[in-house]
Structure formats: structure tokens, C-alpha cells
Amino acid sequence: MIEPEMKERYEKLRAILKEMGSVVIGFSGGVDSTFLSYTAHDVLGDQALAVTAVSPTLPESEERDARDMAASIGIRHLVVHSTEFSDPEFVKNPKNRCYICKKIRFTALVNLAKQEGFHWVVDGGNVDDLGDFRPGMKALEEMADAVRSPMIEAGITKADIRALSQELGLRTWNKQSAACLASRIPYGVELTPQRLSMIDKAEQYIAPYITGSLRVRYHGDVARIEVREDEIPAILAHRKDIVQALRRCGFTYVSLDLGGYEMGSLNEVIETDEEDK
């Protein structure tokens, strides 16, 4: 059951998109961008274009999901290759890594929008994103003359997106969050396609054993597995197979974080640094 206030926010989103006239959407195939793309396509038809940026930071499964979801929605969809690895600063993996990546990707989207004759580039940010450490948001703010976050403008929350997605029949309504693979590597540790591939393969192997969120954090020779606390027994039940598989991926040691899955756990170093100042 959709509450009146939620429906009102959704109608506001639709009005914002209609006013925009035509949009290019940064599309990952996740919960937020799928909901936004569905709504934009419903409101604008062919004047909505979904674009997925592919690079070593994107899990293979997410690229497949993006293609499948775009086809399911019926929206025009382009897959482009992102160039963040050509930037030495991004490769260094600084704390503002997401800012660098977002700036590169959305600059490319703005250029594409101009070439294709679209008025705006839009991203899938929602109001919950405003309270987290997200340096990528700064990049979007700097490009406000060409890039907008219509769900933030409409006051839509993550809970709204999931509830409305379920109401609309989008199978992503209960999809787990899937941050880019670079988020598994501690800041300051160089990003390489090989390391990201190790992580992707490791997560692909473990994923069938669980139903919730999963992260394989990279710590050199050590893979640190994070799952929900209630799914730790499932990992332990397949311990030997998982260890052997992750060694084949290139890791020497395999650890299980007894604290359980924590979104953005590698950001703790930033919080610690701020407290020390």
C-alpha cells in the first residue's frame, strides 16, 4: 500500500522529469537507477536514454543486470566504456576517488547528451545519500548547469524507491546494494584491473551460498569476507570450498569478518582521521 505522501513525491518526480523534456540517465541496473529509468521512460518515452558505463570497477553480473533491466523496461540503452583508469590520480585510490570517477563519467555523459540533443543528464541519487560520505555528490554539484538529481529534488527516499518499485512490478525492488568493486580496496592501495577481477571472481563464487549483502575486501594477500551476521554459519559450512576457490582467484589467505557486513566499512579510516584532527 502506497501512502499518500509517497505518491505525492512520486508525482512530483514525474512532473520534474516532464519539465526537463529529455534526459540521459546514468544507469547501473541497481535499485535507484532502474526506478528512475522506468519512470523517465514512462514520462518521456524516447526522450529518455539510459547509459551504462563499463570498466573494471563494475562487476560482470551488474553489467548483465543493466542490459536485462533496460530491455525489460523498454528504454533505449547504450553501454559505453569509462576511462577513469586513464587518470593517474584515480589509480592512486585517494579518499576522493569517487569524486574523480564521478567527474570523469558525468563529463562524458554531458558530452554525449549534447551530441544526442538531450537537455539534461540525471543521476539516481536519493535524499538518503545526502547523509553519507559520498564525495561523488560534490562532482555533481559542480556540474549543476547540466546534471540534476531529480529524486533528491522530489524528496524521494530509498524506502520510497523500494516500495514504489514493488508497486510498479520492478524486480529490483529488493535487490541488494552493489557498490563498485573499487570500494573493496582500502584508500591509498593502488587500483588495478587484476585486483578488481580477483574481487569480482571471489564474490561471484561466494554469492550463491547466501541471500544478503556480500563484500570481499582486498587486503593484499588476504581476502576479508563480509556477510550479514545471520549468514556467517552458511559461509562456515562451505569454508573449505570457499578457501580453495579464493586461492584460485589469487588470494593466499581468506578471513571472515566476525563483525558482519557493514556498508562502507573502509570509510572508517576517514572518520578516524577526522576525529584525530
Last residue of a domain, one of 152, 174, 196: 174
> Residues 127, 249: one domain?
no
Cα–Cα dist 166/173, whole Å: 5
pLDDT single digits (tens) 85-118:
999 999 999 999 999 999 999 999 999 999 999 9
SS3 206: helix
pLDDT of residue 272: 43
**Torsion over CA of 131, 134, 136 and 138, rounded to 10 degrees?**
50
What's the grid cell of residue 244? Answer: 580453495
Question: ∠ CA 199-79-71 to the nearest 5 degrees?
Answer: 100
> Residues 41, 61: one domain?
yes
Q: Which residues of the chain have pLDDT under 50?
A: 270-277
**% of the chain exceeding 90 in pLDDT:** 85
**Torsion over CA of 208, 209, 211 and 216, rounded to 10 degrees?**
-90
The pairing of strands 76-81 and 120-122 is: unpaired
> Residues 118, 146: one domain?
yes
Last residue of a domain, one of 157, 174, 191: 174
SS3 276: helix
Please, are residues 165 and 173 in contact by the beta-carbon 8 Å criterion?
yes
Whether residue 195 is contained in a domain is answered as yes
Show Cβ contacts of residue 209 under 8 Å, excluding neighbours closer than 6 positions.
Answer: 234, 235, 237, 238, 242
pLDDT single digits (tens) 238-262:
999 999 999 999 999 999 999 998 8
The residue range of the domain holding 212 is 181-270
The pairing of strands 214-219 and 222-227 is: antiparallel
Whether residue 206 is contained in a domain is answered as yes
> Residues 135, 260: one domain?
no
**Torsion over CA of 59, 65, 103 and 35, rounded to 10 degrees?**
-140
> Residues 89, 14: one domain?
yes
Tally of domains within the chain? 2
Whether residue 85 is contained in a domain is answered as yes
Q: Which of 98, 101, 180, 249 is catalytic?
A: 180
> Residues 142, 81: one domain?
yes
Last residue of a domain, one of 121, 150, 174: 174
pLDDT of residue 268: 54
Please, are residues 190 and 36 in contact by the beta-carbon 8 Å criterion?
no
Whether residue 159 is contained in a domain is answered as yes
Is residue 101 annotated as a catalytic residue, yes or no? Answer: no
Say which DSSP state 174 is in: G
Whether residue 266 is contained in a domain is answered as yes
- The CATH number covering residue 203 comes to 3.30.70
Mean pLDDT of the chain: 92
- The CATH number covering residue 16 comes to 3.40.50.620
> Residues 201, 76: one domain?
no
> Residues 119, 31: one domain?
yes
What's the grid cell of residue 147? Answer: 546534471
pLDDT of residue 277: 34
Whether residue 25 is contained in a domain is answered as yes
- Of 89, 95, 116, 106, nearest to 143 by C-alpha is 106
Number of Cβ atoms within 10 Å of the Cβ of 11: 11
